[in-house]
């Protein structure tokens, strides 16, 4: 059972959505006022999959994770080889995509993704997370996320292209960048770390900068609905691609498990950062919807920023 301050029971004993409950119709309508120009920017990295090329390795990912696979069940080459048209000259291509989202692509974590002991968020039994999926707190409970968002562009604030590998962003630094964080907001944190991939995948795998435990607790105290970042784990990683913090200070434990705050990881934030650099105010409308994978511990997403 979790002991430090948390949101267990706050939204009822059967709750499976955590702080997404703060996104009431009134909150969503108020969030839409954050859009001023109507510019829409995708915050997703591309899904590149293949069975016989290096395409997947051109996108940042954690070492050792199964890469996306993209298969064509029928394509133009089949017709060139003599496959019959569907009918009256009609031809088509069919594809299938296999994606393991954690560590390989822009995705959202469900509240059943990580826990400690015998209970996931809100005291639901961890034994209900089975090989066929989670019976509680699966990604299908999310629905859609439409919220006011705040960009914490940490590298730009510090005059850097990207953060150093060992930097852990403090709550004080987040507060210094933007203290106007409201209940139901999405906190979007830029580290710039995906830029490292193009120069050296080995450097990308040498660790990652991220939030400190103090920053996670500060965001939780502000009642954010969601935390999103361009790194792979919200918190920092070491060269073994693991968190150095213990269970008390692990960002997934603080945010997902204790406070029911959904996480989105491996976003692409460079265009958003450039657009926001010339704006007055760092808030915008954030929109994301995971696939309705019943019992899923996560899902690929294509988050949108509406400025």
- Do the bridges between strand 133-134 and strand 129-130 make them parallel or antiparallel, or are there none, so unpaired? antiparallel
Q: Give the C-alpha separation, 210 to 219, whole Å.
A: 14
Percent of the chain having pLDDT more than 70? 98
Q: Give the C-alpha separation, 22 to 225, whole Å.
A: 7
CA distances from 296 to 32, 92, 148 (A): 29, 31, 26
Question: Strands of 262-265's sheet, edge to edge?
Answer: 40-42, 304-306, 283-288, 145-153, 186-190, 226-229, 262-265, 107-109, 298-300
pLDDT at 275: 95
Phi and psi at 162, nearest 5°, equal -150, 160
- Three-state DSSP class for residue 251: helix
Of 103, 143, 138, residue with least CA distance to 121? 138
Band of residue 2 on the pLDDT scale cut at 50, 70, 90: low
Percent of the chain having pLDDT more than 90? 80
- For 248-298, how does the pLDDT look when each residue is reduced to its tens digit (9 = 90+)? 999 999 999 999 999 999 999 999 999 999 776 679 999 999 999 999 999
119 forms bridges with which residues in the sheet?
Answer: 116, 125
- For 148-186, how does the pLDDT look when each residue is reduced to its tens digit (9 = 90+)? 999 999 999 999 999 999 999 999 999 999 999 999 999
- Do the bridges between strand 262-265 and strand 133-134 make them parallel or antiparallel, or are there none, so unpaired? unpaired
- For 182-211, how does the pLDDT look when each residue is reduced to its tens digit (9 = 90+)? 999 999 999 999 999 999 999 999 999 999
67-76, 123-132, 224-233, 269-278: the lowest-pLDDT one: 67-76
Residue 271, number of CB atoms within 10 A of its CB:
13
pTM of the complete model: 0.94
Dig out the tokens for 45 from the structure: 């990295």
- For 129-142, how does the pLDDT look when each residue is reduced to its tens digit (9 = 90+)? 999 999 999 999 99
- Three-state DSSP class for residue 298: strand
**End-to-end CA gap in the chain:** 41
For the chain, what's the residue count? 307
Dig out the tokens for 200 from the structure: 């050296």
DSSP class of residue 116?
B
Rg of the Cα atoms in the chain:
20
pLDDT at 281: 67
pLDDT at 280: 66
Q: Give the C-alpha separation, 32 to 63, whole Å.
A: 38
- Three-state DSSP class for residue 44: coil
Q: What is the pLDDT of the chain when averaged over all its residues?
A: 94
pLDDT at 90: 86
CA angle 158/163/165 to nearest 5° reads: 145
Helices (H), the chain: 25-31, 76-80, 154-158, 171-177, 195-199, 201-204, 213-221, 251-252, 270-277
CA angle 264/270/273 to nearest 5° reads: 95
Check if the beta carbon of residue 72 is closer than 8 Å to that of residue 267. no
Check whether 1 has a pLDDT greater than 70.
no
Q: Give the C-alpha separation, 75 to 8, whole Å.
A: 50
- For 81-118, how does the pLDDT look when each residue is reduced to its tens digit (9 = 90+)? 988 888 787 888 888 888 888 999 999 999 999 999 99
């Amino acid at each position: 059972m979790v002991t430090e301050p948390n949101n267990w029971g706050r939204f009822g004993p059967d709750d499976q959505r955590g702080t997404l409950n703060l996104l009431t119709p009134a909150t969503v309508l108020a969030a839409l006022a954050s859009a001023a120009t109507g510019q829409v920017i995708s915050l997703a990295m591309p899904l590149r999959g293949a069975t016989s090329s290096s395409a997947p390795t051109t996108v940042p990912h954690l070492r050792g994770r199964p890469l996306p696979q993209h298969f064509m069940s029928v394509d133009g080459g089949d017709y060139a080889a003599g496959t019959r048209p569907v009918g009256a000259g009609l031809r088509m291509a069919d594809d299938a995509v296999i994606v393991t989202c954690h560590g390989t692509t822009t995705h959202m974590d469900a509240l059943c993704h990580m826990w400690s002991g015998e209970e996931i968020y809100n005291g639901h039994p961890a034994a209900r997370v089975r090989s066929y999926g989670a019976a509680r707190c699966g990604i299908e409970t999310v629905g859609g996320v439409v919220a006011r968002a705040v960009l914490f562009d940490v590298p730009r604030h510090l005059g850097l292209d990207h953060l150093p590998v060992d930097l852990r962003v403090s709550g004080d630094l987040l507060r210094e960048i933007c203290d106007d964080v409201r209940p139901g907001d999405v906190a979007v944190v830029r580290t710039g770390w995906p830029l490292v991939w193009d120069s050296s995948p080995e450097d990308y795998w040498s660790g990652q900068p991220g939030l400190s435990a103090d920053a996670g607790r500060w965001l939780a105290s502000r009642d954010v609905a969601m935390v999103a970042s361009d790194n792979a784990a919200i918190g920092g990683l070491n060269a073994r691609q693991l968190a150095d913090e213990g269970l008390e200070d692990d960002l997934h434990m603080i945010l997902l498990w204790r406070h029911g705050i959904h996480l989105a990881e491996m976003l692409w934030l460079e265009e958003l950062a450039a657009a926001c650099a010339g704006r007055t105010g760092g808030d915008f409308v954030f929109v994301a919807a995971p696939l309705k994978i019943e019992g899923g511990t996560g899902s690929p997403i294509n988050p949108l920023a509406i400025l």
